[in-house]
Amino acid sequence: AKSDPDGSYRFYDPNIQDSRAERRALEEALRSALDKREFELFYQPILDLGTNRMWGCEALVRWKHATKGMIPPLQFIPTAEESGLIGPIGDWILEEACATAMTWNLPLKVAVNLSPVQFKRRDVYASVTKALTLSGLPAQRLVLEITESVKLTEEATASLRRLKTLGVGISLDDFGTGYASMSYLRSFPFDKIKIDQSFVRGMMESSGSRAIIKATIGLANDLRMSTTAEGVETQEQLNALRVAGASQAQGYLIAKPMPREALEAFMTEIQNP
């Protein structure tokens, strides 16, 4: 494998055409990370704008690398998808998130990201129900976030429908960034639309972003779906989203993603302010 000056392999970089050997090195490292339990889930609180209380948390995976420190998901999820390792890694994420949510003092929701590739590698219905059974978490507390990156197959849609019947919530993530947002909405009765942070980021300056947010919320209302605005960083944005009628807000203004121990402290604090 081609090495960095420090002798280690390079991580996935979308700008570089990785050599096959480099990719294999990262795959090998991911496999061993799974064995050594080097993955960790962070949790980002989501605020319910109706009640002004916590709605739940989104689980976000990190790789706690022995020498490289905390590696963000965008640097290894693509390779995990290409190599098929997203199967076992995704199963671990589901089981860990459900087990953690089960330890919370409040019956908050936990939102888990599902890679579209997981459907090719796993019987997602079986993986999710296993995580629920192992943890004892009620299905109503689990929400799955699906991005609009890949066309949902008949099989994937069928799995999601069965999970929905159990009470699991299904969200359409990063809404508006793909090129098939509308056909996605038509292909499955999602419970929630997550408004991508790129629209929220520009909303105070750009009337175009505001128009898209407003239209998305209107569309979601008509389709009986709720909305979460992502990437909320300022009070101004939060106020405007409230006025626009978003159901929930998520972003650094409310809280950054944090380890489960920090989240416990955060929840205790908001319960006893």
Nearer to Ca ion by Cβ, of 177 and 187: the residue is: 177
Q: How far is CA 189 from the centre of its chain?
A: 18
Q: Is 174 in the site for Ca ion (CB under 5 A)?
A: yes
- Collapsing DSSP states into helix, strand and coil, what is residue 49? coil
Taking each helix axis as running N to C, give the angle between helix 124-135 and helix 86-103, from 0 to 180 degrees, rounded to the nearest 10: 30
Binding-residue pattern over the window 11 to 50 for Ca ion, x denoting contact by CB under 5 A: ----------------------------------------
**What is the footprint of Ca ion within residues 190-249 (CB under 5 A)?**
230
Task: Give min distance, CB of 24 to Ca ion, in A.
Answer: 27
Q: State the SS3 of 163-229.
A: HHHHCCEEEEEEECCCCCHHHHHHHCCCCEEEECHHHHHCCCCCHHHHHHHHHHHHHHHHCCCEEEE
Residue 127 near which of ligand C2E, Ca ion, none (CB within 5-8 Å, type-dependent)? none
Q: What are phi and psi of 75, to 5 degrees?
A: -90, -10
CB distance 118 to 145 below 8 Å? no
Provide the binding-site residues for ligand C2E, judged by CB under 6 A.
Answer: 44, 59-61, 72-74, 77, 93, 113, 115, 173-174, 197, 231-233, 250-252, 257
Q: What are phi and psi of 257, to 5 degrees?
A: -60, 140
Task: Give min distance, CB of 250 to ligand C2E, in A.
Answer: 6
Q: Is 173 in the site for Ca ion (CB under 5 A)?
A: yes
Residue 251 near which of ligand C2E, Ca ion, none (CB within 5-8 Å, type-dependent)? ligand C2E
* CB-based closest residue to ligand C2E: 251
Which positions lie near Ca ion, rule CB under 5 A? 113, 145, 173-174, 230
